[in-house]
Every structure is written in C-alpha cells, then in structure tokens.
Chains A and B, each alone.
Chain A
C-alpha cells in the first residue's frame, strides 16, 4: 500500500436531534427541520440557557437496542448513540458482525470512535455512590463506561474489531480527527476498513458546564434570549448569533480502501481526499476557547495541499459555524485561504442551525451530512440565517447561504472544524459518480 491508496466512504450512521437513522436524518436535512427544544430540567437547575438538541429517540428504542446487543446496565447515553450510529454505518456498508464464538478477531478492521465526555453518566453515578460510602454497590459495569474509550470498547466487542480500536478526543474537532486518523490507517496499509465517528452524551452536566463558561471577557458560551423560541436559538452567520445551543448525539462512517470497496461491490458515498489537523497553540489571539485566526486559515490551506486540489474546486463548505463570533472568523479564514469572495465564494451551510452544537459528535454528524449531500447532490439549508451578519455579508452573498434546500451539482465539499484548545481540522470530500466502480 502507498500514499496512492484511495479511501472511500461506504457506510453512514446517525443519531441526531433531527433524526435517528439515515432515512430520517436525510429527510430532516432536506426539509430543514430544527431539533432544538425547551428542556425543563435546564430551567430547574437554574441554568441560563434552557434549550438544546437531544437525539430523537424513544426510550423503548433504546431498551430494544441495549437488549439486542447485550449492553447490560448501560448508563452512558453517548455510548448508546455511538453504538447505534456505528452499527448502522457498519450494516449500511454491507458488513457483518463477527460471530461471537470466533476465537480470532477481524484483524483487518479497525475502529476510531471519539468523544469528550461520554463517561459522564457513569461518573455521575459512581461519584454519588462513593460519596455515600456505597462504592461496593457500583457493580462491575461502571469502569468501562466511565473511561473515555468506553464507546470504542463496546463497538469493538459487538463487531469483533481486531485492528486498532481506540477513542480520540480533541474537543469539537473530534469527528473530523477520527475520520482523518482512519484515512491515514487505510493509506498506510494498516487496515482496509476503519469505522470512524464520534458521540457526545446527553447529560445536563455537560451542558451545564458550558452554561457557566465564558468564551472571552464576560461573554457566556450559550445562546441568550431564546428560551421562549428554541428553534431560533441556533442561528449561525446571522445577526442574532450570540452563543451556541448545546446538543448531543452520534455520527459514524465506514471508511474503506477503494480496492476493498470495489472487491465487495460496496456502494460508495464519496471519496475522502485528505485533510489537515493543526493547533494554534493558544497564541496570537488564540485561547483555550477562541481560535488563533491565522491557524483557522492555515488549516484550510494545508488541507487543500494534502488533498491536492485547488481553491476554486470547492463547491460547498460544510462549516463549523457554531453561532457566535467564531462564525465571522471562520468565513474570513475561508475567504483568506481560498482567495474567494462575493459571487465567487462557494456555497456554505451550517448543520448546527438545525441540531445545535453536538460538541464531540458535531463534526461526525456534519460529515454524514456532507456525504449525503454529495450522494444526492443537494445543499441543506441553514436555518435562521435570513439576516446575515454584516461582516459575513461583506464576503458571502445572500445566494450562497441557502435558506431552503437546493439541488446542486457538487463535486468537492470542504468540511471545516474548530475546537477548544485552539485545535483546527479540515477535510476534503469528493463526489463519487453513481455507477462508477
């Protein structure tokens, strides 16, 4: 194998505030529905922001799933979302689980599945028992759910993964990072198939933490003034963008060498061309919570270089766009790196306008959306972006931020991602023409 190995996407799975399962998710994307709701518990806890996006999932679906896969005493919501999305992607790619009585593992199949705080449900449970002197009642299933790699460990056991099985964590770029790590494993010939993705738990402490956090000066992180109109709260690129809306969920993709996909006759959603992962080192205006703007721009340039494409080849940017000042910085970084503005600027959209910011899960969900848009040749809307922020409007014309989903010929989509710790990621994905094998 060599650097010439091509890597394609052959399976997708999703558990999101606008729909669980590919079919529902795709319908939600095309319609432009909002998954943001008011949540009473947030008001009871006296948080500032009472709105958020939880995956559309009923308890009986969760019960059936945990029963089917023997997930005994499963408390980790993020682990459930990750396993649901991961297994959907696995089956969607036409792959099977390794029989449980096999003594060997699937040595050529790996899994890199990230998260930031999936252990929180088990940790919360464990802390209360330790504090009350009841550590012995915790039982034998807590450690594996409290550790950060719980989600990959469960997926690995269900599928029978025999290649690298790990969990990456780099705050909100986790999903893009997992995809690029999987891409590298396949390129280097270490694996023919890697299940990649990321998940984030639905625990009010995850959201509560962000609620009490300032991004800079006394600017609190979460959306303000939208508690009575939740669906308007996440409004990337708009004049009303004043903080992110928290969300949770899981997204997954099966990445595969073209050779393996062709041999299996697998359906191909798109080709991963490559990308870049860098850090601004919290220098030059970058902090733990706001990105170094030079590195925001540089990561796009490095990704173009890695993918061997030119700036004008990009038809659509599936942005990070969290719905605050970072939106402006991101659009300016794109304009700088691509040297495109006005009518020449590519189309741009923000999934977070519908799902909120699903943190570690966000860029996996956005990659699934990217693959679906490439496959079906459409651009999903950005909700609540009627009134573009002035500084954004100076670069991007109204027509490039569709408010309704539009059909469009797309060849290359750039997916940008930025995160706490001043980390930046960008990956390029290309359309795979139907019928081409």
Chain B
C-alpha cells in the first residue's frame, strides 16, 4: 500500500499563460498577467485591476464542443475542465470514449469556492427580470452546484473513483492535492486528477473589494500592484484561473512509462482555530508553524533540506505573519533562509485556484531546475527584512539551479492551512 506518489501531468490556465509551455516561459520571465478592467471602474470598485486567463472565445467554444458540454457557461467550470484535460493529456493518458465504462481506480478532487456564481446570477437575473421563470435554461442549474466542475471533469475523463469538490477558501488547491495524495496512499485509488479553479466575475471579487482586502492605489500601474513582501504591498490583486495535476502511484506511473515531474513526500492540513491572533480572515501564526512542522515531520524532511518555498504571499499584511511562521518553524533566518518566491506577484490571487496554479509552478521549478522571480519585492517590508535576507527573494529568475526539496504553502479564510512537500524525483 505504501507506494510512493508522483506527479505525471500538469495543466494550467493562468492570467500570464495558458498551457504548461506558455506558463513555464512566462514564469521564467517574470511576466505579469495583471491588467486594468474598465468594467470594474463602471461597477465602482476601489480596485479596478485583476488577472484573467486570456482564453479566446474560439478556443473556449472548440473545447466545449469537443467534449460535448456546450451548455457550460461558468468560467470557473470551463477553466477547470480545460486545465484537467491538459493535465490528462500531458500525462500521456487516453481520453475514454463515451461507450467506455467508468474507471473505478481513477478519481477526482477538484475544488472551488464560487464556480457556481454565473449560474446563480443567471437564476437571480431571470427571477428579477420578471420573465417567466419557467423559461430558464434547464441545463443552467447543475452549474450552480459547487461540485459541478468535478462532475464535468469526471465525464470528460471517465473517472469512476471518488469524484468531489473540496472548498477551503484560498487553501483549496493545495488541500485538494494532499487529500488526493492520502487517497492513493491508503490504496483507495491509484490515480487522481486534482486541482482547483475560480470563476472570473466581478461578483466573486466584489466582496473582497468591499472589505478593503484588495490592492488600492495601483489602478494606473496594474503590473506593480501585486508586490508580496514589499514595503508598499497594499492588498491582493484578485484574479481567476485553474491549475490541475495528475497524481498516481509510482508503480502505476512506471508501468506505463509515464514522465515523472516530481514526487510528493507528504504534507499537513490544519486550522489555527481562529484563536491567538487568528480570525476568520487572518491566520493564527501558531497554526501555520504547526502546519509546516507537521508537514516536514510527516515525511522526515529536515528544515535544512528545503531549497525553495513557494509561498502563499498574497501582498497583504499576512506576508509578515507567513515569514514569521517559516522562520520559527524552520529555525532558519537571514541568509540561511531558503529561497522564497510568490507566484501571486505575477498573476495576483486566484483565490481557490491559487494553490493549484502555484503548485504547478512549484513542480515546474523542481523539474526544470529554476526559481521564478518574485516581482515587485523592490524593498522588503521592514518586519520581513529583519527576518530574511533580500537575496532569498529573487527579483529575476535563477536558472540552472539544482532543487531537491520545495515546499508549497497555502492559507485561507477560516484560518486554514496546507503545507505540501515536493521532491525531485529519483527512481
């Protein structure tokens, strides 16, 4: 049962690139995907910038037609299905025919926080328009259900093991990976398609705008707005997209001669209980420290072995808490601190999708041996600068570096945490 678990396929729809190839090139270059959106100004948002994957209408329609799911109009479901199909193909797996049975050995955990938003809006608009509510589209409703994205993915890929959608706010993507890891390790499945997605909608971003969580003062300089760890970080930049990974047992992957991107060693999922300084919206540092320590302990990795941290780092006050947690958990600081970078510096905060897109980035760095830049961290926030050297935060990509252990961490509303430990694969 205690087979090793590896990653054999990747898929991504990110504001700075769609597909593994374009995404890899974008993150090497430090390309920002943040833009100004006039629609947000019309809606009187404070923050009028964001990140949206550049999916063309032509590609969107072609995908839906190919997989016979033309009724899908939720952006989050569309992103999720495309990322999942990319990962499946990237893994060298075949797309089953509709006449094939369900594959009971392969499942799906694909999370989201609010993919149902478009279908919900559709229903509300129909009601409020005074039109006949009986004339609605009968295929709209299933898209309002939070698990619709995993249901559509299962249909496309013929998945017959557990098929579900998890939700733990911005922790969702990383949590999905760890939950699937446990499924395979316990022998309940041999392969899992995992990931997460978030819809592109002002209705998703609106509540964050209203609570002053989003970046302010950068509407005229969108690409400068997301600046994790920087002294001028002033809120996160909302974005959307999807990330997907194929996880499988090493024996299955080897048997079919699959390319192996990386090995998952372990990790930990917990909550800070909204105790200490933790609340619904701010993490309890004790929970974070414990999450990191238990994550390492679960696979016997020592703090000194970590080469790179792919942070949660959203460009908010939370960055300081996160660095504090890492320094305390690893007992490493100053120049001894590992490299750390933030994917959100380029693409903003993809909310539920963030953990999976950033995990895809972490895996790519490990596999290809590079560290993507953390842009806009021009001058570290003084409280961060006291703890770690600026050299640990690369402003430009570091090419050709041998990475062995990378940690990916995610946090979310509700004071929830996930820490994932990835290793360069060696047979």
Are both chains from one complex? yes
A and B contact pairs by CB, cutoff 8 A, 19 listed: A105-B415, A119-B116, A123-B120, A143-B207, A147-B413, A157-B280, A157-B414, A161-B271, A164-B175, A166-B168, A170-B163, A205-B120, A211-B133, A212-B123, A279-B107, A281-B101, A284-B101, A284-B102, A292-B102
Going nearest first, the 8 A-B pairs with the smallest beta carbon separation are A105-B273, A421-B151, A153-B414, A138-B210, A281-B102, A157-B274, A143-B207, A209-B141
Say yes or no: B147 contacts A169, CB within 8 Å.
Answer: yes
Chain A residues with Cβ under 8 A from B413's Cβ? 143-144, 147, 149, 153
CB-defined contacts of A422 to chain B, threshold 8 Å: 151, 154-155
Which B residues are in CB contact (< 8 Å) with A157? Answer: 273-274, 279-280, 414-415
A371-401 contacts to B (CB < 8 Å): none
Known: A161-B271, A165-B416. A144 touches B281 (CB 8 A): yes
Give a binary string over B260-302; 1 marks a CB under 8 Å from any A CB, 0 the rest.
0000000001111111101111001011001000000000000
Q: Is the CB of A102 within 8 A of B133?
A: no
Query: Smallest Cβ distance from B373 to chain A, in angstroms?
Result: 30
- Interface residues in A146-204 by Cβ distance below 8 A to B read 146-149, 152-154, 156-157, 159-171, 174, 177, 184, 188, 204
Residues of A within 8 A of B182 (CB): 184, 188
User: What is the minimal beta-carbon distance from B280 to any residue of chain A, in angstroms?
Assistant: 5
Answer yes or no: B124 CB below 8 A from chain A CBs. Answer: yes
Given contacts A135-B209, A149-B168, contact A209 B286 (CB under 8 A): no
Q: Does B142 contact A (CB under 8 A)?
A: yes
A213 touches B124 (CB 8 A): no
Asked whether A156 and B141 contact (CB < 8 A) given A47-B133, A138-B210, A148-B167, the answer is: no
**In whole Å, how far is B193's beta carbon from the nearest beta carbon of chain A?**
12
By a CB distance below 8 angstroms, the chain B residues around A142 are 206-207, 210-211
Bound-state Cα–Cα, A120 to B119, Å: 11
CB–CB A164/B271 < 8 A: yes
Task: Give min CB distance, A375 to chain B, whole Å.
Answer: 29
Chain B CB within 8 A of A91 CB: no
Interface size on A (CB < 8 Å)? 93
Q: Nearest-CB distance from A65 to chain B (Å)?
A: 17
* Bound form: Cα–Cα A213–B126 in Å: 14
Do A169 and B102 touch (CB < 8 A)?
no
- Which A residues touch B416, using CB under 8 A? 149, 153, 156, 165-166
Residues of B close to A156: CB separation below 8 A: 271, 273-274, 414-416
B286 with A104: CB separation less than 8 A: yes
Query: Are A281 and B160 in contact (CB-based, < 8 A)?
Result: yes
Bound CA–CA A184/B165 (angstroms):
17
Contact status of A103 and B290, CB under 8 A, knowing A115-B146, A188-B182, A209-B123: no
Decide yes or no: A214 and B124 within 8 Å by CB, A126-B207, A162-B270 being known contacts. Answer: no
User: Cβ of B136 < 8 Å from any Cβ of A?
Assistant: yes
In the bound complex, how far is the Cα of B114 from the Cα of A124, in angstroms? Answer: 13
What string of 1s and 0s marks CB contacts (under 8 Å) between B106-122 and chain A? 01100011101101110
* Stretch from B10-18, B39-47, B227-235, B401-409 that touches the partner: B39-47
**Within the complex, which residue of B45, B139, B145, B202 is in contact with A116, where a contact is CB–CB below 8 Å?**
B145
Smallest CB gap from B162: residue in A = A277
A135 adjacent to B167 (CB under 8 Å): no
- Which of the residues A98, A134, A279 comes within 8 Å of B44, measured between beta carbons? A134
Known: A105-B273, A156-B273, A205-B123. A294 touches B101 (CB 8 A): yes
CB contact between A421 and one of B147, B203, B276 (< 8 Å): that residue:
B147
Residues of B near any A CB (own CB < 8 A): 43-46, 98-104, 107-108, 112-114, 116-117, 119-121, 123-124, 126-127, 132-142, 144-148, 150-152, 154-155, 157-169, 172, 175, 182, 186, 188, 202-203, 206-213, 269-276, 278-281, 284, 286-287, 290, 412-416
**Least CB distance, B120 to chain A, in whole angstroms:** 5
Specify which of B114, B146, B169, B287 is in contact with A105 (CB 8 Å cutoff): B287
- Measured between alpha carbons, how far is A162 from B276 in the docked complex, in Å? 12
* Cβ contact within 8 Å between A143 and B211: yes
Chain B residues near A106 (CB-CB < 8 A) = 273
Nearest chain B residue, comparing its CB with the CB of A187 = B186
| Interface contact B161-A278, CB-CB below 8 Å | yes
Set of chain A residues within 8 Å of B98, measured between Cβ atoms: 283
